[in-house]
Amino acid sequence: MRQFSATVVSNISLCRDLYRIDFAWDARAVGPAPGQFFTVRVSDSTVPLLRRPFAVSGYASDTRTASAIYQRRGRGTDLLAARQAGERLDVIGPLGNTFPPPKNSQRCFLAAGGIGLGPVLYLARHLVRDGRDISLVFGARTSAGVPAAGTFDGLSPAVCTDDGSQGFPGSAIDYLNTLEPGTFQDTVLYACGPMAMLKEYHAIAATHQCPCYVSIEQVMACGVGACMGCAIRVTTEATYARVCTDGPVFDSGVIVWT
């Protein structure tokens, strides 16, 4: 991990709810892998104070350009959305662990909800490049949260919207429940999205006895494992794990789902 001043390459709106920022990754820092994240100091003042974490949604090693897909939710992401190409960004990364690769014969089923799209998309592209057989499902609240097809790089996900305004009417989980049970045979599941979605995804994995890896979000202060602030409850002896360094990717069986 390194702290570096990155140049913004582009910062565009993908749809009403989502944006994508591309920036130059530091040449001395290790390139980020699927599942990893970085933090940004979004403000030069003390409001908002803390750095904001974002998952890497793509990384081109030839141009050393990294990207993240984000939603404007408050002061910090408003400031991020205001950054123009050519401006500087105070970045620390790469942070956290990575999605474990599937075993030899395994198929991969990937699910993303809302702002969980970034890390899942990066993983999907990685797996396809490795010649893996993948299925991708993406859920949003409304069509305003669904980026144009080009964002998916020909991955053709099953798109679901809670209000039925685009694609499958219902959540990504509702969609999964319509699939033949055989779909999940010898399959590894990956997901990132709201906790409620991940909990149901874990239940599906448990039913079909599939390994399942989820990327979790938690409010963070340091992002490097020093403050113990990003704890989540786990089933292991430690009781709590740090999302920033023990995660953000966890075996869903380790999480205490509430």
Partner 1 sequence: MDLTVTIGNGKLPNPVGVASGTFGYGSEYESLIELSKLGAIYSKAVTLEPRPGNDAPRLVETPSGMLNSIGLANVGVERFLTDKMPFLARQACAVVCNVAGSGEDDYLRVVERLETHPDIFGYEINVSCPNVKHGGLALGTDPVLVERLVRRVRGLTRRPVIVKLTPNVTDITVVARAAENGGGDAISCINSLVGMVIDVGARRPVLPAGCGGLSGPAIRPVGVALTYRVSRAVSIPVIGIGGIMSADDALQYLLAGASAVQIGCATFVDPSIPGRVLSGIADYMTREQIACVQDIRGLLQ
Ligand X SMILES: Cc1cc2nc3c(=O)[nH]c(=O)nc-3n(C[C@H](O)[C@H](O)[C@H](O)COP(=O)(O)OP(=O)(O)OC[C@H]3O[C@@H](n4cnc5c(N)ncnc54)[C@H](O)[C@@H]3O)c2cc1C
Ligand Y SMILES: Cc1cc2nc3c(=O)[nH]c(=O)nc-3n(C[C@H](O)[C@H](O)[C@H](O)COP(=O)(O)O)c2cc1C
- The yes or no reply on residue 5 touching partner 1 (CB under 8 A) is no
- The yes or no reply on residue 170 touching ligand FES (CB under 6 A) is no
- The yes or no reply on residue 27 touching partner 1 (CB under 8 A) is no
Residues 36-95 that bind partner 1 (CB under 8 A): 41, 46-51, 90, 92
- The yes or no reply on residue 170 touching ligand Y (CB under 6 A) is no
User: Of 101, 194, 211, 225, which lies in the binding site for ligand FES, with binding defined by CB under 6 A?
Assistant: 225
User: Of 227, 233, 235, 239, which lies in the binding site for ligand Y, with binding defined by CB under 6 A?
Assistant: 227
- The window from 4-12, 109-117, 166-174, 227-235 that contacts ligand FES (CB under 6 A) reads 227-235
Residues 185-224 that bind ligand Y (CB under 6 A): 221
- The yes or no reply on residue 167 touching ligand FES (CB under 6 A) is no
User: Of 221, 240, 251, 254, which lies in the binding site for ligand FES, with binding defined by CB under 6 A?
Assistant: 221
Q: Report how far residue 91's alpha carbon sits from residue 132's, in angstroms, rounded to the nearest whole number.
A: 32
User: Of 68, 89, 160, 173, which lies in the binding site for ligand X, with binding defined by CB under 6 A?
Assistant: 68
In the complex, least distance from residue 222 CB atom to ligand Y, rounded to whole angstroms: 8
Q: What is the 3-state secondary structure (H, E, C) of the chain?
A: CEEEEEEEEEEEECCCCEEEEEEECCCCCCCCCCCCEEEEECCCCCCCCCCEEEECCEEECCCCEEEEEEECCCHHHHHHHCCCCCCEEEEEEEECCCCCCCCCCCEEEEEEEHHHHHHHHHHHHHHHHCCCCEEEEEEECCHHHCCCHHHHCCCCCEEEECCCCCCEECCHHHHHHCCCHHHHCCEEEEEECCHHHHHHHHHHHHHHCCCEEEECCCCCCCCCCCCCCCEEEECCCCCEEECCCCCCEEECCCECCC
- The yes or no reply on residue 74 touching ligand X (CB under 6 A) is yes
User: Which chain residues interact with ligand X by CB under 6 A?
Assistant: 37, 48, 52-55, 68-71, 73-77, 115, 118, 217-220, 248
User: Which chain residues interact with ligand Y by CB under 6 A?
Assistant: 221, 227, 229
